[in-house]
Amino acid sequence: MSEDTIIGDIDVLVIGGGLAGAFAAIKAKEAGAANVVQVDKASVGRSGCSAFGAGVMRTFLPQEDDRDKAVYENVMRTNFLCDQERLEHHLEDCFARIKEMDAFGVEFEKTPDGQFERILARGVSRMVMFKGGYKMMEAMRKAAIKKGVKIVDRVMVVDLLTDNGRIAGAVGFSTENGQAFEFIARSIVLAAGGGWMKGRRPGHRNITGDSMAVAYRAGVTLAGLDSAEANTGPAMYDIGPGNNMYMSAGAILVNADGERFAGIYDEDLKERTELSVLNVACSIEARRGKTPLFLDMTHIEPEKVQRMKRVIPLPMMMYERAGVVVGDKFVKRIEWVIEGPHCKGGLMLNSRYETTLPGLFTCGDAMPTVGPQGQSALPGAMTSGARAGMYAAEYAAAVSPPKINPEQGSELRKRMFAPLKRKDGIEPDQVLLSLQETITPYDVLILRHEQRLAKALEEVEGIWHDQVPLLYAYDPHYLRMAHEASNIVLVAMMMLKSALERKESREALREDYPYLDNANWVKLVTVQKEGERMSIGAAPVSLERSKLQPAKEKSLNPLWQVAEKQGIIRIEEGKVRWV
């Protein structure tokens, strides 16, 4: 193995190559940071969720949309968990960022008079469309390079370096040749995405909770890890994403009896309902024995299919290859499932996007991504990334260079290379499958009960103690896979512990605590490493400066109310009984 590469004197190090990271790097440069480096374990712009974005972004346009209504929608749909101050930032900045992307060369669908064309897809906010996530990110990569951002591809950051309680840098390795990398940085923007579990989702299998795992090991407080969501997709084909385009075009979801059921849970939006509602609707159908479920798009008009081919070119190629799309028609309905859960939690942050570790900033899906707009997915990545980059540059300008502790660096390198040094051991695939079998069933993290959560936690802790220490890597590629598997297991453990802590039904439904408890639970569950112990707590959502305030009362979660009204459940002694 060749010698270590040390990249020093960095003002802002951006970890992650998606839309959040791109905007962070660009805005850090614009804010005056001289040395901005962006690193990705794959390659910047072709990695993470963004390159596989489903061609749409919820967008707030000040000249067309009602700001108070947007705030109301977002706060109500998250039952007060969304950060209203950051939501205001998003609404303030959204249109400016879209215009910048347009100027960087991102190809949006436009009306004949040159305006951004928008559609209603999932939820109530209208969405702009662009032609392919990977093309969008190609333009962003070029824009970052043009601004003077230095790109480091194929280096996976594994741990953070600290200097007396502030950020000092990061260590990682090249997935090409196994060389160790050390970055010495005044500030870092951690933008390495959320916590997907390599589930049924092409394009999302390299988003492995790295942000959360890296931050946890450095003692940073995490929040919202009880919040899990699954996207939906085909059961038999490895095809995705595209749900927003399907639902926008009028896709219909039916159960095994041919009944269209989404409208039971959301009368207005039906299949266009938010994912959290769709997750519950599908899971209740499964609990009632009404699977398999099917998505039917056979009635969709050719011009809408043509648009799908422009906006989500990759999934449409897959459907054609599978014989589901012929010409401009879907020719068969598709067996449909909820995919494995992904963790919507992230690094706890203040209104300057700084985490509990001074000098460490975060954005995009590495933040707690609560809320349908502004704090999640591409729109949230775009606006939060820009702010995080700007604030990180301001921080870097105000502090002295960090001191590197050689002992810390050497300890972290030892941990990083351990799977390569071992003579034999467990393949990452084995760990991954054990984990997926534990947490993928719908009745673990979507429909919840203490007993099932506790059993899953016991199994995941078993994987953590028995399998993860034996992870073995044949070469630098497998070293990446080993760290990804380890990070996924760590995040799953944090998710299950956090889910056990929330004793109410808010985003996810608890059978044993079916009430939405605004008197006690307008809080984010927090996780922090204390010595070797994983400490779980709760932090109230700051509502001091918020326009909307919850009534401090407890009521049956609205989705449980629907199920009760339908005669699917009844409440006995404060708990759900299935009828």
Partner 1 sequence: MGVRKIDVSACIGCGTCIEYCPMDVLKMDEESQKAFIKYLRDCQDCFLCERVCPNNAIQCIPVYERRIPLPW
Q: How far is the CB of 124 from partner 1 (least distance, A)?
A: 27
Residue tagged 């802002």 (tokens): 12
Q: Report the residue number, 289 or 531, with the smaller CB distance to partner 1.
A: 289
- Interaction site with partner 1 (CB under 8 A): 42-43, 46-48, 51-52, 134, 154, 175, 198-200, 202-206, 230, 235, 237-239, 283, 286, 291, 313-314, 317-319, 321-322, 337-340, 429, 433, 436-437, 440-442, 446, 477, 480-481
Q: Report the residue number, 211 or 518, with the smaller CB distance to partner 1.
A: 211
Provide Rg for the chain, Cα atoms.
Answer: 23
Strand partners of residue 165: none
Q: Report the residue number, 397 or 420, with the smaller CB distance to partner 1.
A: 420
From 134, 169, 76, 151, select the one nearest 406 (Cα to Cα): 169
**154-175 b/e with 16+ CB inside 10 Å = b?**
bbbbbbbbbbeebbbbbbbbbb
Which residues, at least 6 apart from 565, have a Cβ–Cβ distance to it below 8 Å?
A: none
333 phi, psi to nearest 5 deg: -80, 160
Length of the chain: 579
Q: How far is the CB of 443 from partner 1 (least distance, A)?
A: 8
Strand partners of residue 171: 159, 182
- Please tell me the distance from the alpha carbon of residue 564 to that of residue 375, in angstroms, as a whole number: 32
Q: How far is the CB of 158 from partner 1 (least distance, A)?
A: 16
Q: How far is the CB of 165 from partner 1 (least distance, A)?
A: 35
Q: How far is the CB of 175 from partner 1 (least distance, A)?
A: 5
Q: Report the residue number, 87 or 314, with the smaller CB distance to partner 1.
A: 314
Which residues, at least 6 apart from 269, have a Cβ–Cβ distance to it below 8 Å?
A: 122, 123, 124, 262
Alpha helices in 166-261 (DSSP H): 210-217, 243-249
Q: Report the residue number, 11 or 40, with the smaller CB distance to partner 1.
A: 40
Q: Report the residue number, 200 or 502, with the smaller CB distance to partner 1.
A: 200
Q: How far is the CB of 318 from partner 1 (least distance, A)?
A: 4
Q: Report the residue number, 244 or 434, with the smaller CB distance to partner 1.
A: 434
Q: How far is the CB of 507 from partner 1 (least distance, A)?
A: 17
Which residues, at least 6 apart from 165, have a Cβ–Cβ distance to it below 8 Å?
A: 357, 358
- Please tell me the distance from the alpha carbon of residue 406 to that of residue 403, in angstroms, as a whole number: 9
